[in-house]
């Protein structure tokens, strides 16, 4: 886009055409004729001269009225800089919101698409490393010392498979509960559920844990990738433990246990959605469905989406739209699809991301990077600090300190200002506010890469346009985003 053009984007929905103005962060419905004129202007080297030369009365009236309302503003961001850049030391010295402990790098499964399997990714692989109690205790003390301004305490356990270190988990829970008595403590654990025992279940219920269990769908789908070390599928073990959990504590199970389904995009997803819908075990469950990650892939590794997958995703999303419009109840009244969470993005867009602006600030940063520690803070088995569990643990660029030396504020500043790598492109992008690219997706060979970041731009803008289209589609049918129905989308 030329520098003398406003940050606008044109798109169509099922019935109408729209203009999105990034400076105002607002959407306008436009007439078909005006839409064509705008398309012509967008292709011009000089948008304003071209627009001013159009004599069509309808366009002139629209263009004049829109400019008077602040649309087509030529102002753009002059500097890419995260607004929290100068506050990082203050925020993280006293305001850590939660910590995830990597209690082990061992796992009893060898899932082929796992970041630590060695098959697809350049990350570290499964190892025999375990977090010593001294390291865990030091990590908890560090967290407490750096969170006096936080309203609650959040401690998560991650692996490998964290249940391999259940004794360490118990020790950590008892320790932090004895240290903290003035704040609510939230415990989270991500597990493959193959090792769940009655003792573990009772402990998690007693201490009000929230569990995220990995289950990819029906047996033939789950066992395709989630296998034990000996190559045997893990489905039967997982489903047995899950049903036992629900039988023992049905209310707790409904409120505190969630499921993550990793979707390989080489097959249709309808059978996965049907599995969760038709099995009463998951009647009240929240299901998070996400595709296999394409970050930090090996050079030779490829992930392909088939036409069957794309069509089935469209069908699942359409079920959610119909449900919100009162036209489809589905098998599960609380969850019309395992992709119901996609609606949450549109709802968020309507409530916060499309807040009208007078203009973009002179200094700002594209959406995407979070501030490590305010959202997530990951401590590895050997006490190394990382932004979250999704980054490449072997990358020097992702290392943000350690228990001996403390937090590396300068490195965090680099990560949250990752848009600086592609500053000129970002300043002239209509999707500036809605970019979803974080540092984990810009890392290559241990460094932050402008080339790696730019490779994702087209896909991200397509996703933003899809969200804008979905939002307008809802509005075309009179949907009120301020009204919620009976089912939920996530738990706080």
Q: Are 399 and 411 in contact (CB under 8 A)?
A: yes
* 83-87, 125-129, 301-305: the lowest-pLDDT one: 301-305
pLDDT at 492: 43
d(CA 117, CA 123): 9
| pLDDT score of 4 | 74
- Return d(Cα 102, Cα 104) in angstroms, integer: 6
Residue 288's pLDDT is 87
Question: Which has the higher per-residue pLDDT, 487 or 11?
Answer: 11
pLDDT band at residue 2 under the 50/70/90 scheme: very low
What is the C-alpha separation between 447 and 399, in angstroms, rounded?
Answer: 11
CATH tag, 87-353: 3.20.20.70
Place of tokens 């819908």: 277
Give the pLDDT band (50/70/90) at residue 285.
confident
Residue 139 has pLDDT above 80, yes or no: yes
Give the chain's radius of gyration (CA, Å). 24
pLDDT at 423: 96
Give the model's pLDDT for residue 238. 98
Q: Which residues contact 89 (CB under 8 A, 6 or more apart)?
A: 409
User: HSE on the CB side for 274, CA within 13 Å?
Assistant: 9
Q: What's the distance, Cα to Cα, between the start and end of the chain in Å?
A: 40
Per-residue pLDDT reduced to its tens digit, 174-215? 999 999 988 999 999 999 999 999 999 999 999 999 999 999
Place of tokens 């988990």: 169
Question: CA-CA distance, 320 to 309, in Å (whole number)?
Answer: 17
**pLDDT band at 87; cut points 50, 70, 90:** very high
Contact between 65 and 28 (Cβ < 8 Å): no
> In this predicted structure, what is the pLDDT of residue 411?
96
Residue environment code for 415-428, b if the CB has 16+ CB neighbours within 10 A, otherwise e: bbbbbbbbbebbbe
The pLDDT value recorded for residue 486 is 41
Check whether 300 has a pLDDT greater than 80: no
Q: Which residue has the higher pLDDT, 146 or 124?
A: 146
Show Cβ contacts of residue 257 under 8 Å, excluding neighbours closer than 6 positions: 210, 211, 213, 242, 245, 246, 285
pLDDT tens string 227-270: 999 999 999 999 999 999 999 999 999 999 999 999 988 888 98
pLDDT at 5 over 90: no
Q: Is the dihedral of CA 298, 307, 460, 45 positive or negative?
A: positive
The whole-chain average pLDDT of the chain stands at 91
- Please give the Cα distance from 3 to 22 (Å, whole number): 14
Q: Say if residues 407 and 373 touch (Cβ distance below 8 Å).
A: yes
- Strand order across the 378-379 sheet: 286-291, 257-263, 209-214, 185-191, 153-158, 99-102, 378-379, 385-386
Distances (CA, A) of 371 to 374, 386, 434, 446, 492: 6, 11, 17, 20, 19
pLDDT the model gives residue 482: 80
Percent above pLDDT 90 for the chain: 69
More confident call, 19 vs 337:
19
Q: What is the structure's pLDDT at 121?
A: 77
Band of residue 93 on the pLDDT scale cut at 50, 70, 90: very high
Banded pLDDT at 484 (limits 50, 70, 90): low
Render pLDDT for 323-364 as a digit per residue (tens, 0 to 9).
888 888 776 666 778 888 788 889 889 888 899 998 899 999
Query: According to the model, what pLDDT value does residue 71 have?
Result: 95
Higher-scoring residue by pLDDT: 426, 2: 426
pLDDT at 333: 62
Cβ–Cβ < 8 Å for 323, 329:
yes
Rounded to whole angstroms, the Cα distance separating 66 from 64 reads 5
Q: Where in the chain is the domain with CATH 3.20.20.70?
A: 87-353
Q: What is the pLDDT of residue 334?
A: 66
| pLDDT more than 70, % of the chain | 96
Neighbours of 351 (CB within 10 A): 11
| pLDDT top residue among 385 and 111 | 385
- As given in the structure block, the two tokens for residue 312 are 């089935």
| Arithmetic mean of pLDDT, 480-487 | 66
Q: Note the pTM of the prediction, 2 decimals.
A: 0.91
Give pLDDT, residue 481: 86
- Cβ–Cβ under 8 Å, residues 117 and 125: yes
Q: Is the pLDDT of residue 488 over 60?
A: no
56 pLDDT above the threshold of 90? yes
Q: Which residue would you say has higher pLDDT here, 319 or 39?
A: 39
With cut-offs at 50, 70 and 90, classify the pLDDT of residue 134.
very high
CA distance 103 to 219: 29
Residue with the bigger pLDDT between 327 and 485: it is: 327
């Amino acid at each position: 886009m030329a520098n003398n053009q406003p940050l606008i984007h044109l798109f169509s929905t099922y019935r109408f055409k729209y203009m999105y103005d990034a400076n105002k962060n607002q959407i306008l419905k436009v007439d078909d004729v005006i839409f064509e004129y705008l398309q012509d202007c967008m292709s011009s080297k000089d948008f304003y001269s071209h627009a001013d030369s159009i004599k069509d009365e309808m366009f002139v009236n629209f263009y004049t009225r829109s400019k008077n309302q602040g649309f087509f503003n030529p102002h753009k961001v002059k500097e890419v800089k995260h607004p929290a850049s100068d506050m990082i030391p203050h925020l993280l010295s006293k305001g850590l919101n939660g910590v995830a402990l990597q209690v082990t790098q061992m796992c009893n499964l060898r899932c082929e698409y796992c970041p630590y399997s060695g098959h697809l990714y350049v990350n570290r692989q499964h190892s025999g490393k375990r977090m010593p109690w001294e390291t865990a205790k030091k990590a908890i003390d560090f967290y407490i010392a750096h969170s006096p301004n936080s309203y609650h305490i959040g401690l998560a356990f991650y692996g490998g498979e964290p249940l391999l270190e259940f004794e360490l988990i118990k020790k950590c829970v008892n320790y932090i509960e004895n240290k903290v008595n003035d704040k609510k403590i939230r415990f989270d654990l991500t597990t493959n559920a193959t090792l769940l025992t009655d003792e573990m279940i009772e402990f998690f219920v007693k201490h009000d844990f929230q569990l995220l269990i990995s289950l990819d769908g029906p047996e033939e789908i789950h066992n395709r990738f989630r296998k034990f070390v000996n190559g045997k599928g893990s489905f039967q073990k997982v489903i047995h433990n899950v049903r036992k959990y629900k039988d023992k504590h049905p209310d707790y199970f409904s409120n505190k246990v969630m499921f993550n389904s990793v979707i390989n995009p080489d097959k249709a997803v309808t059978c996965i959605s049907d599995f969760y819908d038709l099995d009463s075990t998951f009647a009240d469950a929240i299901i998070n469905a996400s595709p296999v990650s394409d970050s930090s892939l090996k050079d030779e590794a490829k992930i392909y989406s088939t036409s069957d997958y794309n069509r089935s995703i469209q069908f699942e999303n359409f079920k959610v739209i119909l449900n919100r419009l009162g036209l489809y109840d589905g098998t599960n009244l609380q969850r019309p699809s395992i992709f119901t969470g996609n609606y949450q993005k549109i709802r968020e867009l309507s409530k916060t991301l499309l807040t009208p602006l007078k203009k973009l600030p002179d200094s700002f940063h594209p959406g995407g990077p979070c501030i490590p520690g305010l959202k997530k803070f990951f401590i590895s088995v050997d006490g190394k600090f990382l932004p979250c569990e999704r980054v490449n643990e072997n990358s020097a660029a992702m290392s943000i300190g350690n228990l001996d030396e403390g937090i590396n504020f300068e490195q965090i500043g680099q990560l949250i200002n990752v848009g600086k790598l592609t500053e000129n492109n970002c300043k002239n992008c209509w999707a500036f506010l809605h970019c979803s690219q974080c540092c984990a997706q810009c890392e290559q060979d241990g460094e932050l890469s402008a080339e790696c970041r730019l490779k994702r731009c087209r896909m991200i803008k397509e996703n933003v346009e899809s969200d804008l289209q979905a939002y307008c589609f809802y509005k075309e049918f009179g949907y009120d985003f301020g009204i919620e129905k009976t089912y939920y989308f996530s738990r706080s």
